[in-house]
Structure 1
Amino acid sequence: MKESRLILALDVYERERALEIAERTAEYLWAVKVNWPLIIGSGLKIITELKQVTGLPIIADLKLADIPNTNRLIASKVFEAGADYVIAHGFVGRESVKAVMELGETIIVVEMSHPGAGEFIQPATDGLIELANELGPFGVIAPATRPERVAYIRSKLRPEIKVITPGVGAQGGKAEEVVKAGADYVIVGRSIYTSKNPRESARRIFEEIKEVV
């Protein structure tokens, strides 16, 4: 099986459910992404447990957006729990992002997938791309719901910086389209974790991506 480019967004509250879904789908995933709902519902230790159960990288999607010291305090505990990557907002400035990057691999949000992103974040995207090119994070977040924006962001980024795209499935994005637009990794949440058969849903999306790649 080729290396996966699929990331599971595990936006559930319950520890047991999260571990079960992650274990059942792990074969088709590159990484598991945890967000505030799961951390609030199950505690920070869920990062450690998911890593043990799946053997996969864990992305902590905290979208850190605070002063450097607060970002540093939060990121320190999250990396300590076993997270491999932490997602941070870039709009708070380079020093806040660097505070996270000094502790571990970081992914910067340059544009979000929901319609409201057009109000304030999209107008700042060019500046956020410049910030990413300057700092050299592992990757950036770009919207799978707007493949043309993914293509634009990819064209402006340094080639070694990965493009990671949420919004496939429930939000309307198509895995095939976004990979063709230049995405390195595709994030899928509800289409997998609310499915009656999460493993089969993950397999289907994995195969869709593999065909394009």
Structure 2
Amino acid sequence: MTDSIYLALDFSNKKTLDQFLESNQFQGIPVKVGMELYYREGPKIIESLKANGHRIFLDLKLHDIPTTVMHAMNVIASLEVDMVNIHALGGSEMIKRAKEGLVEGNPNYHTKLIGVTMLTSMDNKQMNEELLIPGDLTKNTVYLARFAQANGADGVVCSVHEASQVKKACGERFVTVTPGIRLVDTAVNDQKRVATPSYARQNGADYLVIGRSVTQAANPQKAYHQAVMEWEE
């Protein structure tokens, strides 16, 4: 087990999740809880996972007016998760208020505030033509990382391919969380900017998020340990 790999728990309910974790002996590994599971089960799923020793990345990607995000973060702070994220595109005031909500909600616990830059399902053409954001995807990602850092974020979600550039721009202590992790010979699915665990480590990733390569594998435990081995070696 490593503290650097978060397994994405893309399950629709607690019963299915508990069966998966127990059958694969995944007690205590770091996990990512996303919208589907959190919206179905609520804060109790966080409490249950914490009671079983899991570190938690709460992946809700908040993006709303600053006051609303601040109040939401004030509530989330009481859950004492390791990381929670917002969209960096929400603007400077939203990022600042998110940080304020976390600090005021639980001044004795530091939950890392992570800004989402450009989703790993997005490519340069989509960014230019659909979102009407001009320029190069990597440069825009680095800009958003510096922007998030300037307004109080502890790190960003970015693809592996941008992680090293983010580190150069923001410093080694600024956290890079990289989804789109795939083991060799596994499907890319709807991700476009993907990479293996070993490449991620070489390219400046601090934390990996890996999901379907493990959860949909014929042998999830074996696939998880392969990811850990690739990361560590």
Superposition TM-score tier, normalisation by shorter sequence: 0.7 to 0.9
Q: Secondary structure at the match of 2:6?
A: strand
1:162 is aligned, of 175, 198, 210, to 175
TM-score by length of 1: 0.85
TM-score by length of 2: 0.78
Displacement of 1:131: 1.6
Contact between 1:4 and 1:206, CA under 8 Å: does it hold in 2? no
Aligned to 2:202: 180
> Aligned pair 1:209/2:210, yes or no?
no
Contact between 2:142 and 2:165, CA under 8 Å: does it hold in 1? no
Looking at structure 1, the residues matched to 224 and 119 of structure 2 have their Cα atoms a distance apart, in angstroms, of 23
1:21-57: CA deviations, max 9, x gaps?
3452245x4x21111111122223111111112x132
Aligned to 1:64: 62
2:116 is aligned, of 106, 109, 114, to 109
Are the structure 2 counterparts of residues 175 and 124 from structure 1 closer, same or farther at C-alpha, using a change threshold of 3 Å? same
Q: How many residues align?
A: 204
**Structure 2 stretches of 5 or more lacking a match?**
103-110, 189-193
Percent identity for Structure 1 against Structure 2? 28
- Opposite residue 192 of structure 1, the aligned amino acid is V
* Aligned Cα root-mean-square deviation (Å): 2.2
**Structure 1 stretches of 5 or more lacking a match?**
none
- Opposite residue 77 of structure 1, the aligned amino acid is V
Q: Secondary structure at the match of 1:25?
A: coil
Alignment of 1:1-213 (within 5 A): 3-22=2-21, 24-26=25-27, 29=29, 31-53=30-52, 55-102=53-100, 103=102, 104-116=111-123, 118-119=126-127, 120=131, 122=137, 124-144=140-160, 147=161, 149-169=162-182, 170-171=187-188, 172-211=194-233
Q: Secondary structure at the match of 1:195?
A: coil
Contact between 1:22 and 1:50, CA under 8 Å: does it hold in 2? no
- Opposite residue 215 of structure 2, the aligned amino acid is Y
Displacement of 1:136: 4.5
Displacement of 1:101: 1.4
Q: Secondary structure at the match of 2:81?
A: coil
- Opposite residue 199 of structure 1, the aligned amino acid is Q
Contact between 1:25 and 1:202, CA under 8 Å: does it hold in 2? no
Contact between 1:48 and 1:82, CA under 8 Å: does it hold in 2? no
Q: Which has the larger radius of gyration?
A: 2
Looking at structure 2, the residues matched to 131 and 154 of structure 1 have their Cα atoms a distance apart, in angstroms, of 13
Q: Secondary structure at the match of 1:133?
A: helix
Are the structure 2 counterparts of residues 105 and 150 from structure 1 closer, same or farther at C-alpha, using a change threshold of 3 Å? closer
Looking at structure 2, the residues matched to 151 and 139 of structure 1 have their Cα atoms a distance apart, in angstroms, of 13
1:70-96: CA deviations, max 9, x gaps?
112222333323433211111111221
Aligned to 2:106: none
Contact between 2:95 and 2:152, CA under 8 Å: does it hold in 1? no
